[in-house]
Amino acid sequence: MNLKFYTVCLCLFFIFTNCRQKQDTSAQNPDVSTTPDNAKKPNIVIIYLDDLGYGDLGCYGAPTLKTPHIDALANGGVKFTNGYATSATCTPSRYGLLTGVYPWKNKQAKILPGTAPLIIDTTQLTLPKLLKKEGYHTGIVGKWHLGLGIGQVDWNKTVAPGPNQVGFDYAYIMAATQDRVPTVYIENGQVVGLDPNDPIQVDYASNFEGEPTAISHPELLTMKWHHGHNNSIVNGIPRIGYMKGGEAAKWSDIDMADHFLKGAQDYVKKHKNEPFFLYYAMQQPHVPRTPHPRFVGSSGMGPRGDVIVEADWAVGEFVNTLEKEGLLENTLIILSSDNGPVLNDGYYDDAVEKLGAHDPNGGLRGGKYSLFEAGTRVPFITYYKGTITPKVSDAIVCQLDVLASVAQLIDAPVTDLDSKDLLDTLLGHSDEGREDLIIEATTRTALRSGEWLMIPPYEGKTYEEQVGIETGSSNAYQLYNLKNDRGQKYNLAASYPKILESLIAKFEALRGTDYNTIEQLELK
Ligand code: NG6
Ligand code: CA
């Protein structure tokens, strides 16, 4: 009896001490975690606006436009004054952001029609692929514009390859732009709400017989086109490209902001218990500017201002969701824009007429399509509650660098890309940015180096110049000192020949010497 009792006691003692030892080990040794590994990995969110200019936000000096929600991110995070998109148009910038490779290295990386094939190689490293490999769930909600399929897409079948084949577990997208057909949402390769009895056909070369266009049926238009944008009509808005069928699947333009917001919020709620990467690619303030009725008149600046107010509201709602779900302190948010601003981008929408005192360029020269600063220098904000101490940084950073920096953050460093690890700078721990950056605008390139910007000569007029947009082309070298001459008023090429010479050498070493081949800009 006694012996049995002692044996039981001895066993209990061993079990007890063993447990204690295990607990102690985990307390002393941080490598032995009691929580699953994934719980500690920070979520990554990129909020990407479309055509938002350097001066389009209150926090970047907009005098009348109110953007309190984005301002709150800037005021609680790092606001970069020298943050760049890789390009002054959409497709190449998105390519640079997602691949970490300069877009001018891919000849296909220029404004794409809605029928263009996927331009990211499915074997190539991408930001979502990298994160997926490290245990993240990866999603995109919003604008894609990097091509789909391999040519001749059948929109009535699974549309692939696309985002799902380059690293996104979940994709809810519009194929190209809000002004291009097909005007439907695509969820993981399937057109949402498609009626099989009303198949979709899309063509960029010619119309489908009997289908109204802006030219044949101007009386159907609720928005007038100024240049381009005179093909198929959807919701009274003339688009680029022709489309037939798919009636039930067509999106509602005025609901797009709410729709993408809900998609982004649902994604977060669904994946809150695992590390996630969300690329929330908003459509504002790209044309056609179609604010929801509750935002009409909100800016006093017409539709362009109204959709910026709408976008700001959506950002606020989205950040609230992160907060409510208890994720804000474990999420790095990067907010930026794919290129600089444009007022008249092909529709009559009062963007010019109602501008008032607002300067979408924030004092920079040029705009969308331009090699001058306003083309690529954009709002660039990082926010990571509890980790980033708020500051304004003048370091030169580029969206190209997001990939290598995020890789560093999650302890999976990458090499051999154009992307540079600027993690410390993005988190506000360092003021060191890039020394050199090649910027791109409609297949032309220039060099930002320290305080200088050098634009090599380009001959021939681009399409944008023909419609009155200043693109930065000149038949002579241009050299600007951005520190003393932010607005690029004084070409110093003749006054500083040595500096010019060294910048040309640097540029050619990075870019090669075959840069001066003007390719006709893809118009569709
Ligand atoms: C241009 C369109 C412009 C816009 C742009 C792409 C015309 C005349 N202009 O070709 O409206 O859609 O392409 O913008 O069609 S981006 O932000 O997606 O690069
Ligand atoms: Ca854009």
227 lines ligand 1 (CB under 6 A): yes
- In order along its 524 residues, the chain shows pLDDT tens digits of 454 545 444 444 444 444 333 333 333 333 333 344 555 799 999 999 999 999 999 999 999 999 999 999 999 999 999 999 999 999 999 999 999 999 999 999 999 999 999 999 999 999 999 999 999 999 999 999 999 999 999 999 999 999 999 999 999 999 999 999 999 999 999 999 999 999 999 999 999 999 999 999 999 999 999 999 999 999 999 999 999 999 999 999 999 999 999 999 999 999 999 999 999 999 999 999 999 999 999 999 999 999 999 999 999 999 999 999 999 999 999 999 999 999 999 999 999 999 999 999 999 999 999 999 999 999 999 999 999 999 999 999 999 999 999 999 999 999 999 999 999 999 999 999 999 999 999 999 999 999 999 999 998 777 788 778 899 999 899 999 999 999 999 999 999 999 999 999 999 999 988 777 555 344 33
For residue 333, report the phi and psi dihedrals to the nearest 5 degrees: -105, 130
Tell me the fold of 43-200+245-439. Answer: Alkaline Phosphatase, subunit A (3.40.720)
What type of residue is 506?
A: K
337 lines ligand 1 (CB under 6 A): no
Tell me the fold of 441-511. Answer: Arylsulfatase, C-terminal domain (3.30.1120)
The H-or-E segment that residue 90 falls in is: helix 90-99
Atom of ligand 1 nearest to the CA of 91: 19
Looking from the CA of 92 toward its CB, the CA atoms found within 13 Å total: 31
Nearest CA to ligand 1 atom 10: 523
Distance CA 168, CA 440 (A): 26
Nearest CA to ligand 1 atom 13: 111
- C-alpha 266 chain-centroid distance: 20
DSSP structure class, residue 78:
E
Residue 87 Cα to ligand 2 midpoint, Å, equals: 9
CATH 3.30.1120.10 domain position(s) in the chain: 441-511
What is 215-263 written as a DSSP string?
Answer: TT-GGG-SSEESSS--SBEETTEE-BSEEES-GGGBPPGGGHHHHHHHH
Nearest CA to ligand 1 atom 1: 523
CATH 3.40.720.10 domain position(s) in the chain: 43-200+245-439
How many other C-beta atoms are found inside a 10 Å radius of the C-beta of residue 340?
31
Atom of ligand 1 nearest to the CA of 345: 11
The H-or-E segment that residue 479 falls in is: strand 478-481
Nearest to 98 by CA among 128, 143, 57: 128
Atom of ligand 1 nearest to the CA of 143: 18
DSSP structure class, residue 442:
T
What type of residue is 415?
A: T
Nearest to 179 by CA among 57, 279, 56, 50: 50
Nearest CA to ligand 1 atom 18: 90
- Rounded alpha-carbon distances, angstroms, from residue 44 to 18, 72, 327, 405: 39, 18, 11, 11
Q: What angle do CA 73, 179, 221 make, to 5 degrees?
A: 120
Contact in structure between 207 and 217 (CB atoms under 8 Å) = no
- Enter the pTM of the model: 0.92
240 lines ligand 1 (CB under 6 A): yes
Contact in structure between 379 and 57 (CB atoms under 8 Å) = yes
3-state secondary structure (DSSP) of residue 388: coil
Residue 355 Cα to ligand 1 midpoint, Å, equals: 21
Q: Are strands 331-337 and 43-49 parallel, antiparallel or unpaired?
A: parallel
Distance CA 59, CA 401 (A): 23
94 lines ligand 1 (CB under 6 A): no
Residue 182 Cα to ligand 1 midpoint, Å, equals: 15
Residue 353 Cα to ligand 2 midpoint, Å, equals: 21
Atom of ligand 1 nearest to the CA of 240: 15
Which tokens go with 483? 């520190």
3-state secondary structure (DSSP) of residue 83: strand
Residue 125 Cα to ligand 2 midpoint, Å, equals: 23
Contact in structure between 181 and 243 (CB atoms under 8 Å) = yes
Per-residue three-class SS string for 260-317: HHHHHHHHHHHHCCCCEEEEEECCCCCCCCCCCHHHCCCCCCCHHHHHHHHHHHHHHH
How many residues are listed for the chain in this entry?
524
287 lines ligand 1 (CB under 6 A): yes
The H-or-E segment that residue 7 falls in is: helix 2-28
What type of residue is 84?
A: Y
Nearest to 379 by CA among 94, 78, 55, 91: 55
Atom of ligand 1 nearest to the CA of 287: 11
